[in-house]
Amino acid sequence: MAINWFKYSAPTTFYGLAGKLIPWFGISAAILFAVGLYIGFFVAPTDYQQGEFYRIIFIHVPSSIISMFLYLIMAGYAAMGLIFNTRLSSMMATAIAPTGALFAFISLWTGALWGKPMWGAWWVWDARLTSELILLFLYLGYIALHASIDDPRRADRASALLAIVGSVNVPIIYFSVQWWNTLHQGSTIKFSGTSMHVAMQQAMFITLVACWLYAIAVILARVRSIILERERHTKWITELPEVKN
């Protein structure tokens, strides 16, 4: 049986598929958030050094991971839009940016809230924190650049270049704690194993999956609005039941 992989790469078909998927991702995100945060706040033990303060990791670590991954995915979609001239890829890139910016902001914000009681400073200009701040600025720059050009196809191309060039920053964020002396600690989750108690790990893993599902749900919802906006002159949009009425 031949599967037509490209069937859903057209906005026409993807619009309907995304609409069907959103509730599933949304509901499972809500359930996993509840479970993950319950384990994180009530089951996971107190840390031997940081006491209760360490519990910020159940928000902070997933946000940081997703802010970095989303950037690479956004740059990938932007590159695909540039290379293949596919409409949906550029729309996906545009839809990802605000969610990525949100997670980068949450990561910086929760890090600051934790940094004051633990390190003794809200903010330090070390390599990890600075490069994550640059990531937030890249997201904001991408959004601003895209919004400043009226023709959507030209906006796609210009902002795609920014997204692709900015992807160089992501490995810098990840390896910053190895390459330089930083105040931020090294990675807890490594390929060689994890230096963390099991219940803490489970809670962090579940909230990570929950954050992913949430991110997918809102990105799909956003890409649907973008499709509606950009394709509003086409026949299939005017025939959609939700548009007709």
Under the rule (CB under 8 A), what is the footprint of another protein? 45-51, 54, 57, 79, 82-85, 117-121, 124-127, 164-165, 167-168, 172, 179-183, 185-188, 195-197, 200
Partners of 190 in the beta sheet?
Answer: 193
Task: Spell out the residues 6+ positions from residue 82 whose beta carbon is closer than 8 angstroms to its own.
Answer: 156, 157, 160, 161, 164
- Between 173 and 215, name the residue whose CB sits nearer to another protein: 173
Q: 3-state DSSP call for residue 193?
A: strand
C-beta of 65: minimal distance to another protein in Å? 15
- Between 85 and 148, name the residue whose CB sits nearer to another protein: 85
- Between 28 and 169, name the residue whose CB sits nearer to another protein: 169
Give 95-99 contacts, CB < 8 A, sequence gap 24+: 95/219, 95/220, 95/222, 95/223, 95/226, 96/70, 96/219, 97/139, 97/142, 97/143, 97/146, 98/139, 98/143, 98/222, 99/70, 99/215, 99/218, 99/219, 99/222
C-beta of 210: minimal distance to another protein in Å? 20
C-beta of 245: minimal distance to another protein in Å? 40
DSSP string across 40-93: IIIISPPBTTTBTGGGGHHHHHHHHHHHHHHHHHHHHHHHHHHHH--HHHHHHH
- Between 6 and 242, name the residue whose CB sits nearer to another protein: 6
C-beta of 149: minimal distance to another protein in Å? 19
* Residues 37, 204, 98: CA angle, nearest 5 degrees: 85
C-beta of 199: minimal distance to another protein in Å? 9
- Between 55 and 146, name the residue whose CB sits nearer to another protein: 55
- Between 25 and 114, name the residue whose CB sits nearer to another protein: 114
C-beta of 88: minimal distance to another protein in Å? 16
